[in-house]
Amino acid sequence: MYENLVPRFIRYVKTETRSDENSTTIPSTQSQVAFAKTLMKELENIGLSDISYNESNGYVTATLPSNTAKKVPTVGFIAHMDTADFNAKNVNPQFHEQYNGEVLVLNEEQHVVLDPKEFPNLKNYIGQTLITTDGTTLLGADDKAGIAEIMTAMEILINDDSIEHGDIRVGFGPDEEIGIGADRFDVPGFKATFAYTMDGGPIGELEFESFNAASAIVKIQGKNVHPGTAKNTMVNAVKIGMAFDALLPQDEVPEKTEGREGFYHLVGITGEVDEATLTYIIRDHDREKFEARKAFMLEQAAKLNKEYGSERITIDLNDSYYNMGEIIEKDMTVVDLAEEAMKNLSIEPIIEPIRGGTDGSKISFMGLPTPNIFAGGENFHGRYEFVAVESMEKATAVIVEIARLNALKGA
């Protein structure tokens, strides 16, 4: 059944499903709704049951019924339908068979190349078949590789009765890339004991820790007067914004941190003399350090307000998600099962904290432990995204092996 994996993936990525953070609908774009409907038809054709689309949260869910008399915990597999904030229209995947480790020309006209000097991860794929963009769009392996892998694994299981498994639930959801997709996920309705998001990167990734995450909107009120008579009167909001950012630790930014190191990330700034807005995201794996980062920003705002003698700066802080490790560490069975499945397939598990978040970050706190497994893609969210066919095949095999192991361990 692996022969359906790549055609399925190509069909998915050619369907535009970019989410929209400015939308007020669920899902945020109608293209995701349309994609959900096509996935429902495919699930039906494969032979799954209980197929439904939840109008209130945008999730497609379905069940692969158990084929064993054993009492087996229900496992879920989840992936997201949307793609990130980069051009996702007219995706034109390019195949590079037997990759030789040299520069890949994605778009000769626009001089877009995948160069191993810039992307040393390419060296891990010598001899494999790479699927890349044509240099003008993202690819969409994040997370349509995950959807294709889950769908293909279900197809394998339903057509091979020799692989014993319990009930399996699948879920394809919206708006992960804008951080709201899992907000209304129906954990009781999903009826799984534990689950996995298939939304990781290279082979072996198994992640049960994520960032704690928050957003900060810093609004600054200035005072604009004619520059010729501005002395002791003008208050330049843009300058205050620059001063505020300078008060934050300049080495604690994404481009200077790694591993468990947290950061402040200035993702946007708009403004004029009269008013300005700075938009930040705040990240840290450690909850205490995370809370301290938010408090530090408020302290710097208070310091500048005192200096200017009025409340020029206000900060709107909102938590986005928390480190799912707080939940999963209470019972590591879900991680142990995935780790064993990978080792059975001669895949070395790479267990490291995510420098980001997944839908599992929120779903775990809703009561469903949901670590993250590799889907195979690299260089997500841009024109340099790629995935190896072999990586997708191995991710599919991990899903099947988790289902088999779960039944093997059942009562």
285 touches 262 (CB < 8 A): yes
Q: How far is CA 23 from CA 37, 175, 177, 333, in A?
A: 20, 11, 13, 38
**Segment (H or E) for 403:** helix 389-408
392 touches 378 (CB < 8 A): no
* Residue 142 among known ligand-binding residues: yes
Phi, psi (rounded to 5 degrees) for 405 = -65, -40
Q: How far is CA 190 from CA 70, 108, 195, 308, in A?
A: 21, 47, 10, 53
* Residue 286 among known ligand-binding residues: no
294 touches 317 (CB < 8 A): yes
Which residue in 16, 149, 176, 401 is the catalytic one?
A: 176
Residue 359 annotated as catalytic: no
* Residue 149 among known ligand-binding residues: no
257 touches 265 (CB < 8 A): no
In what side-by-side order are the strands of the sheet with 377-378? 94-96, 130-132, 386-388, 377-378
* Residue 251 among known ligand-binding residues: no
Residue 82 annotated as catalytic: yes
Looking from the CA of 5 toward its CB, the CA atoms found within 13 Å total: 26
Closest-CA residue to 19 (of 77, 56, 55, 58): 58
* Residue 20 among known ligand-binding residues: no
361 is written with which tokens?
């970050």
Q: Amino acid identity, residue 33?
A: V
Task: Give the DSSP letter of residue 110.
Answer: T
Which residue in 42, 82, 209, 385 is the catalytic one?
A: 82
Residues assigned a catalytic role: 82, 176
> Annotated binding site, which residues?
80, 142, 177, 199, 381
> Annotated binding site for Zn(2+), which residues?
80, 142, 177, 199, 381
